[in-house]
Amino acid sequence: MDSRIERMVGMVKCLGLRLSSTVRHAGTCGIIALAVGLGNGAAAQTSQNATQSFEEFQASVTAGAQRIAKYQEVLQNPDARIQYEAVRLLLKSGDPALVRIAKEHALFSTNPVLRNSAILAIFEAGGNLRIEVTATDESSAKVLKWVSDAGGTHDGKKGNHIFNIGAKAENCWMSGKERYAICELTVSGTSVQFKSNRGQGSQASLALGPDGVLRGVIFAEGGKANAAIDLKE
């Protein structure tokens, strides 16, 4: 991990609030996976250097687990403002392991303010989202047709469409260019309004569930279907 990520933790700690001593522990397999990812390139070394001893591997895992604990300690701060800032910085870090920690912490929180902050931070970080469409009745065929027209794929029952999170403008994230641009994603609390001008257009109202997935109903071309966006991806 480069010094830039270490500085992020320092930036949050320098706000002068005492960190909680409680650290949420992940499962054994998750800790090993994340620790190897953070342990100074341990995963890459394992694949590239077949002569690495078990002792060296174990030391790398331990070092990585200790680094993970430092980030988790910041995320456990009782001040939601500190948690939000930590989540925001970790999501922008570009490190897959840290991004995963931040997403799961915020999305699984029972604090609605932090959950809202998690949605905003994920959208602000940019990247792609995948909306999954599941047929519910005969009219769903029209929604699946929209999936295809928008550039996605489907098997007649389920469809997937991947789209890029656009630039932010006021309280929404845009799609399209110039006079054809529309608010594609609008956040209100833990709910998200999705509206697309791809194909013949579609719209959906989605609510964040306890599992970190936005779910709701999508309408397109006179049909309807269930829709879901997993924000943990």
pLDDT tens digits for range 59-96: 999 998 898 899 999 999 988 889 888 988 888 888 88
- Cα of 116 vs its chain's centroid, Å: 12
**Do residues 193 and 217 make contact, with C-beta atoms less than 8 angstroms apart?**
no
**Do residues 198 and 163 make contact, with C-beta atoms less than 8 angstroms apart?**
yes
The confidence band for 185, taking pLDDT boundaries of 50, 70 and 90, is very high
Confidence (pTM): 0.69
Residue with tokens 């078990």: 54
Give the CA diameter of the chain: 62
* pLDDT surpasses 70 at 122: yes
pLDDT tens digits for range 197-223: 888 889 999 999 999 999 999 999 999
The confidence band for 48, taking pLDDT boundaries of 50, 70 and 90, is low
Residue with tokens 């389920």: 158
The confidence band for 154, taking pLDDT boundaries of 50, 70 and 90, is very high
